[in-house]
Structures are given as structure tokens and as C-alpha cells.
A and B are shown apart, each in its own frame.
Chain A
Amino acid sequence: MNPALQGLVTIIIGVGGCIAYFYFSNQFLDKVLLPAKSKNAGRNINRANLIRPWLFLFPAIFALGLYLAYPVVATLWYSLTDRNQGGAFVGFANYQRMMAEPKFWEALRNNMLWLIIVPAASTAFGLLAAQLTDRIKWGAIAKSLIFMPMAISFVGASVIFKLIYDTRPVDQNQIGALNALWLQFDGGIGSFLILRLLPGALMISAAALALFLVYTNMQAIREKGAGAGSALRAVLIAVMAFVIYSTLGLAYGAFTNVHPYGEPQTWLTIPGWNSFLLMVVLIWIQTGFAMVILSAALRGIPEETIEAAIVDGANPFQVFFKIKMPQISGTIVVVWTTITLVVLKVFDIVFAMTNGQWETQVLANYMFDKLFRASDWGVGSASAMVIMLLVSPILVWNVYNARKEMR
């Protein structure tokens, strides 16, 4: 049968079946099982109303259970068994094998970099775009253009950026924008300003920001004493310490690295840089999302607070950092966690652009490699469980918030 026809039939059967199920199960309940007639009418109506929610919920619960809840358990089980031994229980042997592989650690290290850089950069750009576009007349158009990459598939975006990173031999015209730009640098004063001073200054200011966060969090711990909040802050301080260490290292590198001026580079094969170039793709896509959410939050800020600040003589920067930022901090956390979830599952971009070669591996692609190329279900499932483990703090946090709201 033609797949299009098959699709049409499935829509009709699927949708029709669902509606028929809901209609007839309700009819059956009301007319046959517990009719609202005779002397038991009152009791029957009450009983029917006890059952009815489950009729409405049954298909959804069934699908959720089968397609999301069951796989979590099953994957956990596969990660503890060996398929080649007929599914015998092997404890943590798969995890041990996985940890012995350098590729796994490379994937984990890259994932950590993605987790820090992509949400931070997307949120920062999104905030900047939201703040700027809210002030101008054609802001709506500008917003929808920056938001547009959200509609583009990761694969499409990969092609778009592969064209930008494209390399031609030295004697030909460069058709990749990055190489064309790169060849403009010749090691003169302009190159020093843009390639050394600018990134160096950026890295140093990022380190300063992280240092500031460490300082404020230490103050908070000292004031509030031990507790769950302090533990969280301690983790944040540890992460920030790592950020300071690595940004200072990068700043040093920015001033001392020797650049091969005048030679076109094959960007995606340079370890260290290529991961960042892949991250650019995701940042490009996610900035629009951050911008839309943060722009709504910025508009929700009560005007009186801003007017009061301006009357008191605050300049635009003070208004932004001292009045607006604290009021949208909750939304920033939501945006950050949402992008974090996307980053943890990122697969298509790495798969399409480098397939994990040249030290760009990430967990989701590592897992796909293990499952479908190496057919190693044990290690594949174990790495899937690592992704689940990384997601679970966000899961708990979301559920906690949802329950708090419902009360």
C-alpha cells in the first residue's frame, strides 16, 4: 500500500478509534454498566463518576507507561545485563567497561563544556536581544528573525554551518565565511586587537564575574549557615572555581598562542576549537527561545519599580542589573534548565557535522554509536543511564515546583 494512503488510513483509524473509544466507553458506562435509572440511580451516578476519569485517562496512561516509564526501567535492566550471555545479570560490568574507554570520558568532558557554555551563551544573547528589541519600533520583526532558527532542524542548521566552516586549498577562493574572515588577519595591529585583546579581555571579565558569584555565595553561606541551600551554593562555588581556572587559562592562551595567519584552516578537525564551533550551532538555535521567554518576563516587570529607580537617578545599566535582573531571575533559571535539557540530548548536530571524530564526541552520540554501530547494548544502555542521571536533578526540581504550585 502507498505510504501516504497508509498514513491517511492510520489517521482515520487512530483518531476515529480514539474518539470512538471515548464515546462508546462513556455510553457503555452510562447506559449498560451503571444506568442512571431505577432505584439505584443515585448510587450508580456516583460510581460512574468514580470510573469515568480513568476512561478519559486510560489511553494516555497506557502510552506514557509503555513509551516512557517502561523504557527507563528496561534500560536500567539492560545496563546491568549482558546480551551475549543471554541476558544474564552482570552487575556493574558494563559501567566498568564504559569507564575504561577514553572515548566515554571525552564525551563526558565535552558534554560538561556544552552544559556550561551553551545555556550561558544562549541566555546571555537572549537577554541582550530581548532587552534591545523591546526598546525599538521594529522590535517585533527583529525578534521574529532572531527566533527563526528555532524552526530549523538540527540537521539543516548543521548544513548551514558546515558551509560557513568550509575549507578550500590555499590557492583557491575561500567559500566558507569563517576562512574568508580568517584570511583577512595578517598578524598586524588589527589582529592583535581582535584575536588577542578582545578574547583575552572577555575571558578575564568572565573570570571576574565567576569570582563575584563565588564571593556573594560565600557571603550567603556565612550568613545562613549549613543547610540544603548552602550545599547547593557549595556546588555552585566549586563549578565557578573550575570556570575561573579554565577562563584564566584560555585568557593566557589568547595572548600567547601562535596563529597560522594566511593559511586556511580546516576548522572542524582542530581539537579544542571544533567543539566550540559545534556549540555555536546550538547557541544560534536556542538564543531565539531564550529571547522570547525573557522578553515576556521583562514586560511583566511592574513599571513603578523602574520609574522609581529612574526618579532616584539610576542609569540604564543600574536599572537593568539592579532592578530588572533580580525580578526575572526565576525566569532565567527556567530558560537555563530548559536549554540544559536540550543540550543533554544533543545528538543530530554532532552526528551530522563530525560524528564524534576529532575529539568532539558527546554522550548522546556516543550512545548511538554503541547501540547501533557497535551493537553493544550493555555499554549503550549504561551511557543512556548516565544521561538520565544528569537529567534527574532537573526532573526532581520540576516536579517539586509543579507540586508547590498546585497547592
Chain B
Amino acid sequence: MDNIAGRTSALNWIVQISVVALVALWLFPTVGLLVSSFRTADQISGSGWWGALTASEQNLTLRTADPEDDGAQVLVNGVYTVQGQLFGEGSEAEISVWGTSSLRISEFAPGDTAELSDGETLTVQADGAYVWTSPEELSGRGQRIFVTATTPPEFTLQNYERVLFSGDSTDGMSRAFFNTLTVTIPATIIPIVIAAFAAYALAWMDFPGRALLIAAVVGLLVVPLQLALIPLLRLHLEIGIGKGYLGTWLAHTGFGLPLAIYLLRNYMVGLPRDIIENAKVDGATDFQIFTKIILPLSFPALASFAIFQFLWTWNDLLVAKVFLIDATGETTVMTNQIVELLGTRGGNWEILATAAFVSIAVPLVVFFAMQRYLVRGLLAGSVK
């Protein structure tokens, strides 16, 4: 519609480039976390994650094998020799310069032989292979070697193994993952059932006070849940639910209901009146109309709300902290676990990034799979 005057090409390039820049800016933070979760602790602290995608030059301090290890030292032609490889198996790192003292780390080129004290010599090749010789028997720890090496991009899955499968109680997320799931599923399904009946009554049944009730729902839509924390926690403690899953499910149900009723009612009001009246003429009861006609037709609205409630309960921290997590910490959820990791492991980005990504992954999958319903729900909930 903007191109009727034939001037698209003038602006088109600017628009394209701005959108690319905007998208890149918005993706940058998340990509950083994702890339970091596949790097080792050394790599993360050695260079920024943006350097992980290209070969990088690093200064490393490495050590030869200890001469006292079994079989490390062999006698060849009357010379004690320790041979080996500085890098791990399959590494493609390439040494550009190396040295034997921290003050002169670029003293030698690959292939050079360094003269050490007591007649010892050390030769290091570009691929990290070394030969360390001595006229006397060698003892003590391995020789330190300072290398400047170019390492190709390297990624590892070991962070995910540690976070998901190690069973470690501070780093492990598996328990928190299942706890989150346990909170989320009932807290998503129960409000839908309750809200659907209420929405039907508010949309299609005539009774005094209906308008007032709808206004009340709209009003409750914005009540901050901060107000509910203390009175409800006290109530739960008094009636014996205490802190636990049941209380959390109930709390999420209560907090999710206004939006559920509002979304579903707005959708149901828009359904064709003829169908419902025909069914009534044919003798269907309200209960039958609801279960056989309204519910199947309202699927898009039900899906919209289900996604909202799922994202909300999965990502929630406050409700879980107040109503669920007790002193034992057995019932911790992922968001809480991550906040605790931020405290105890503030510098260990490999653990933090991986834990955070584990908790983000499920909502992202749901988001991309069901984006259509999410957008529809947003539009129904706010645009009038």
C-alpha cells in the first residue's frame, strides 16, 4: 500500500538493513547465553563468547607429563627421555611461539630446541608434540611450557551433562526441572476448566448481576498478586495446606482465573447465536450445549490461555518462593535454582548459562510451536 507511488526501492534498502540490525540486537543476548553454554570454563573466562565462533589465539600454560609417572620416562641411547603431546587427543590447536619461562613466553619457534639447566633439552613441535631429554634421571613434576596457540572453535556438551544428569544437588537441574513441571501442568489445566464454565455463563446465560460480575473480572485482572501473598500464605498455614504443591496449584489457579474468564468470555460471545438457539430448540440442556458445542468451538481461545498460563507458571519465581519452597529446599523450581546459582556460582558462567538455557528451552519450544495462538490471545486480551 505504501508503494503505489513507485518509490519503494529508495527506502527499501534502509528498511531491510534496519530490520537486520534490530533483529541482530534482539538476538545477541540470547545467542551469547546459548554459545556460552557449549564452552568450557576455561574458554569462557579466556575470551568473549563472540570469539568462540572463530579460531582464537590464546596464551596457555601447559605442563609435560610428570617424569615419575609409570612409563613416562624411558632410557633411549643413554638419555632419559619424556615424550608426549601437550594438547588432548584430536585437538587441532597450533603453536606459533613458545617459551619455558613466564617472562619470555615467545622465546622459541615450533621445532626449536631449548637448552634447560643440567644439560636438559626440550623440543616442542607446532602440533604440541614434545621431547624432553636429560643425561640424569628426571624427577619431580613435569616441565612447564608457555605456549601461544591458535585454537579452532571448540564446543562441548559436558556442561549439559553436568547440569542435567550429574545428580549434583547444587548444580543439578533435573530435580528442579521435574518440580517445575509438576507445578506447571495442573496449574495450567485446572483454571481452564473452571474458567470455561464461568465464561459460558457470563457469555450466554441471562441473570441479574451479569454486567457487574464482568466488570469485577476486568477489575481483578490488574490486581497485583503482591497483595495476595501474606493473607493467602496465612490462610494456607491455618487450614493445613502449608507450603507445598497443592497451595501453589490453588494460588496459580486463582491468579490465572481473571484472564482466563476474560479471554474465554470474549471469544464465546462471538460464537454464532443461531447454533446455540437451534440446539436449545432441539431440547439440549445448557450442560450439553456447553460440552458438545461451545467447548470444541472455543479451542483457539482455550489454547491461547493455556499458553499464557503455561509460560506464566513456568517462568514464575514469586509464587513459588512464597507458596512452595520450604526450608528443606526439596521442592525448588528452576527459576529459584538459577537465582541461587547466581549467588553461589556468580562467576561460573558455564554452569549458569547452561542452567538458564535448560529452563528457557521448554518455553521457547512452546512459543515457536504455538506462536499463532499466543498472538491471537494477546490481541483478544488487549486490542479493542
Contacts and interface: CB of A to CB of B under 8 A. Distances in A.
Contacts of B33: 159-160, 163
Given A159-B356, A173-B46, A402 B215 contact: yes
Contacts of A399: 215, 218-219
Contact of A10 (B36, B232, B249, B287): B249
Interface stretch (B60-68, B100-108, B160-168, B187-195): B187-195
A173 B48 contact: yes
Interface stretch (A174-182, A189-197, A206-214, A255-263): A174-182
Given A160-B33, A163-B32, A347-B318, A67 B22 contact: no
13 contacts: A18-B194, A19-B193, A26-B285, A26-B286, A60-B194, A60-B257, A75-B227, A136-B12, A142-B22, A144-B368, A164-B29, A316-B2, A391-B224
A67 B375 contact: no
Given A4-B181, A152-B360, A352-B339, A163 B15 contact: no
Contacts of A168: 45
B227 A72 contact: yes
B226 A387 contact: yes
A-B pairs with lowest CB-CB distance, top 7 = A67-B254, A153-B315, A60-B198, A74-B231, A151-B367, A56-B201, A71-B228
A144 B371 contact: yes
Interface residues of A, number: 122
A310 interface: yes
Contacts of A164: 29, 32
A374 to B, nearest CB: 13
Contact of B186 (A7, A139, A150): A7
A377 interface: yes
Contacts of B339: 155, 351-352
B281 interface: no
B1 A78 contact: no
A14 interface: yes
A296 interface: yes
- Range for the number of chain B residues in contact with chain A: 35 or more
Nearest to B339: A352
B338 interface: yes
A334 B227 contact: no
Interface string A138-158: 010010111111111111111
Interface stretch (B73-81, B119-127, B151-159, B205-213): B205-213
Interface in A37-51: 49-50
Interface string B220-253: 1111111111111001000000000110011101
A241 interface: no
Contact of B249 (A14, A22, A176, A367): A14
A15 B4 contact: no
Nearest to B249: A10
Contact of B193 (A15, A173, A292): A15
Interface of B: 1-2, 4-5, 11-12, 15-16, 18-19, 22-23, 26-30, 32-33, 36, 44-50, 178-179, 181-182, 185-186, 189-190, 193-195, 197-198, 200-202, 205-207, 210-211, 213-232, 235, 245-246, 249-251, 253-255, 257-258, 261, 285-287, 290, 311, 314-318, 321-322, 331, 335, 338-339, 342, 349, 352-353, 356, 359-360, 363-364, 366-368, 371, 374-375, 378-379, 382-384
Nearest to A141: B23
A177 B32 contact: yes
A306 B1 contact: yes
A30 interface: yes
A30 B50 CA distance: 69
A74 B229 CA distance: 10
B224 A345 contact: yes
Given A151-B364, A387-B224, A59 B11 contact: no
B342 A159 contact: yes
A66 interface: yes
Contact of B2 (A7, A176, A319, A406): A319
A174 B198 contact: no
Contacts of A303: 1
A135 interface: yes
A160 B186 contact: no
Given A63-B257, A162-B342, 15 more contacts: A3-B245, A6-B245, A18-B194, A53-B205, A64-B216, A67-B255, A132-B22, A135-B15, A156-B335, A159-B342, A173-B47, A177-B32, A316-B2, A345-B226, A387-B226
A145 B258 CA distance: 29
A344 B27 CA distance: 26
Contacts of A385: 227
A230 interface: no
A151 B222 contact: no
A163 B351 CA distance: 12
A233 to B, nearest CB: 23
Nearest to B192: A15
A3 B338 contact: no
A406 B29 contact: no
Interface string A343-366: 011011001100000000000100
Nearest to A22: B197
B364 to A, nearest CB: 5
B183 to A, nearest CB: 8
A4 to B, nearest CB: 6
Given A151-B363, A163-B353, A293-B383, A59 B23 contact: no
Interface string A115-152: 00000000000001100110110010010111111111
